[in-house]
Amino acid sequence: MRWHPYILKKCVIAVLGSVFACQATLANPIWHCSRNEIQIADASDNFTLASLTVEREVIRLSLRDLYAVYQGAHVRLTGGIPLSACVIGDHDSSLTKIALQSIGSPSGTMKALSSQSAITKSNIHVVHSESAMLTCITKHHPALGYLSKATDTETVGPCF
């Protein structure tokens, strides 16, 4: 049996289209962190207070801290400030599953995080949507979370 070139071409296009559509729905989450205010002096005028500007950059933390906070550990930043983590609490959230897998969390982590006792003992805050994730990261500064696309606001920005 020989395939007609036209039919074969249509089949290949359909398969490739399906592959690209699946990749879009299973995109890797982008980790986001809250921002700190940092005063930066203007090098051209070091003698006036007016030369100080405020720049907001995302908090700096290691991948080890990222992993630890999502395991329920208490992570403290410089100055002893506790780091908070925001997580989408829907058990069927593919974004949450992929995010936790991307940092090497065991498959049962989401179930453990969802238990009320684990949440009250840690700095993990459960939300139900990506818009609530942005609010959570802002509200619980310093905090981190994940979104399906890079989002850059005055209070939150991509960090990993």
Reading the block at residue 10, the tokens are 């249509």
Q: Is the pLDDT of residue 43 over 90?
A: no
Residue 22 and residue 122 in contact, taking contact as beta carbons nearer than 8 Å: no
At residue 11, what are phi and psi to the nearest 5 degrees? -65, -45
Q: Is the pLDDT of residue 20 over 50?
A: no
Query: So what's the pLDDT on residue 155?
Result: 93
Q: Is the pLDDT of residue 56 over 50?
A: yes
Reading the block at residue 81, the tokens are 């400030």
Q: Is the link from the previous residue into 142 a cis peptide, with omega within 30 of 0?
A: yes
Residue 105 and residue 146 in contact, taking contact as beta carbons nearer than 8 Å: no
pLDDT confidence bin for 4, thresholds 50/70/90: low
Query: So what's the pLDDT on residue 122?
Result: 79
Query: So what's the pLDDT on residue 68?
Result: 93
Q: What is the mean pLDDT of residues 41-67?
A: 70
Return the higher-pLDDT residue of 4 and 83. 83
Query: So what's the pLDDT on residue 99?
Result: 93
Query: So what's the pLDDT on residue 108?
Result: 75
Q: Euclidean distance between the first and final Cα of the chain, in Å?
A: 52
Structure confidence by residue, pLDDT tens digits, 89-146: 876 789 999 999 999 988 777 677 666 555 566 799 999 999 999 999 999 999 999 9
Which residues make beta-bridge pairs with 135?
A: none
Return the higher-pLDDT residue of 151 and 48. 151
pLDDT confidence bin for 24, thresholds 50/70/90: very low
What is the Cα gyration radius of the chain? Answer: 21
